Chains A and B, each alone.
Chain A
Amino acid sequence: MEAVLARPVYRRRSLASRLVRGLLTGVAVLCAALLLLLPLLVVFAEGLAHGWAVFVAAITDPDARTAVKLTLLVAAIAVPANMLFGLAAAWLMTHFEFRGKSLLGALIDLPFAVSPVVAGLVYVLTYGVHGWFGGWLDAHGLRVIFAVPGVVLATVFVAFPFVARELIPLMQSRGSEEEVAARTLGAGGWQIFFRVTLPRIRWALLYGVLLCSARSMGEFGAVSVVSGHLPGLTNTLPLQVDQVYNGGSGDAVASAFALASLLALLTLVTLVIKRLVEWRHGGELARAAARH
């Protein structure tokens, strides 16, 4: 009797809850489309707004090509450097106990919390004309600020924690037993690293390197402070976008968006690879490891 009475009540509630679910989903999808998808689409649309000729002229401009080359050069230095650091930091943080370990962990994350402009500023204060080493560098005819080395340093700073942050939680959750076992079987340090550790962390390493390179090639604020904005010399691609955008000529905005669409394309490639790694090797990533 009770069950018969309860049924229609249950059904009515489930209809209402389905309506609420549909509404919530609709609002969420609408927000995602308006706030996230449109900014990506508008880049390509505006880039092509003045036709193919303007688009092609913008991306084949000599200053634009130098900017692409510099962006790749900077990433080619910053990414391997931060990868080596990330591996060393992860090895240190997960296989050993020592005093000040938690402080060290917090310091590794620090660059993520610092404003990009402040990241650029600290390098100006260190290596700029009035900075700590400015006088010494000047006397030796060296330039860091308003030159390529400054751009590289600022990029290394902002992309600093990506690899370490991906590796540390994963290696922590896996423990050191296998490495210790390899050690007792007589393996050397490098042998343990290449034969035991690396195969287990390779997807997480790729994931961290991917995020690190996306950030290295896309960084704007920090690089903007230290580069000096010299077209054809110290402009990376994001800086070139900025300069062309503010250029003021009739095709300036369309040309800036044409250059920006190269960066947007890079973003899409990054997101697709990231998804693929998460999908195929999700179990070997830190995010998944943290859940168990």
Chain B
Amino acid sequence: MRNRALPGFGLSLGVTLAWLGGIVLLPLAALAWKSASLGPATWWAQVSTRRVLHALSLSFGGALAAAVIDMLLGLLLAWVLVRHRFPLRRLCDALVDLPFALPTAVAGIALTALYAPEGWIGRWLQPLGVQVAYTRLGVLLAMVFVGLPFVVRTLQPVLESLEREPEEAALTLGAGPWQRFRRVLLPMLAPTLLTGFALALARAVGEYGSVIYISGNLPMRTEIVPLLIVQKLDSGGDTGPAAVLGAVMLAASLLVLLAVNALQRWNRRWTEAG
């Protein structure tokens, strides 16, 4: 059933489907077809090498850890930006968009310059025995950087529109600040926090430009999956090995996307019920 009162259904449907089909679906189908044509033996041979397993565990483990850190840091930032008034608040708010807007390659070399042993921050960490650049800590840092705005920007509008009554009720019932946060606010924010977490996770898993400079790309230590895909493509010839890893990454993205959709539906039901 469509609204026949307005014109342009055929034209807008045609443009949308043609564009979506040509730009997104056709190339993705090429990846699905290529990786499906490769048989289980090739798949296993590609995925089970120690180098690939290492990269998979770093990409997914690192992204999970980064998304958890983003969730905590993002909650703090969003909370302070919405509920507190302080000088430079607008500047801080604008800075949150930086990881969205700064080209990833620029972010990558900038983070490397900061955290290299002789860098602005690295030189203070060096005497403490902490090395960030060219270690897994550096990979984690870059992943935290790119994911942070997703959590802050998802939380901000929800925090702003949150009704104060439940908190005030808790206050009059004698709840302390921590109790109000833990028992009243956190349950109300949980679906939004998880959405932000999933978005940050999706971004961190696939991130390439911000990570590859600070990681140093040491095989078996700081290589991420997207880097291996690029290497396998650069080595020329057969595109099969790259397609296998690409399919793994694509499947992971689709899973996260599904999770985000489910979370948003849950969130909507939650807010409508409340």
Query: What residues of chain A have their CB less than 8 Å away from a CB belonging to chain B?
Result: 17, 20-21, 24-25, 27-29, 31-32, 34-40, 42-43, 46, 81, 84-85, 88-89, 91-92, 95-98, 104, 106-111, 113-118, 121-126, 128, 130-132, 153, 156-157, 160, 176, 179-180, 183-184, 188-189, 192-193, 211, 214, 217-221, 224-225, 238-239, 241-242, 245, 253, 256-257, 260, 263-264, 267, 270-271, 274-275, 287, 290-291
Contacts and interface: CB of A to CB of B under 8 A. Distances in A.
A110 B15 contact: no
B128 interface: no
B101 A32 contact: no
B209 A238 contact: yes
Given A92-B16, A245-B213, A267 B98 contact: yes
B98 to A, nearest CB: 5
- B contact patch SS: helix
Interface stretch (B46-54, B108-116, B132-140): B108-116
A271 B97 CA distance: 7
B160 A122 contact: no
A180 B249 CA distance: 44
B143 interface: no
A42 B120 contact: yes
Interface of B: 1-3, 5-9, 11-13, 15-16, 19-20, 23-28, 30-31, 33-34, 73, 76-77, 79-81, 84, 86, 88, 92, 94-107, 109-111, 113-114, 119-121, 144-145, 148, 157, 160-161, 177, 202, 205-209, 213, 226, 229-230, 233, 238-239, 242-243, 246, 249-250, 253-254, 256-257, 261
21 contacts: A24-B76, A31-B73, A36-B98, A43-B106, A85-B16, A92-B9, A96-B2, A114-B253, A116-B206, A116-B226, A121-B243, A122-B31, A124-B239, A126-B27, A128-B239, A160-B24, A176-B3, A189-B6, A214-B101, A220-B208, A260-B106
B160 A108 contact: no
B208 A29 contact: no
Contact of A31 (B77, B202, B261): B77
Contact of B106 (A126, A221, A253, A263): A263
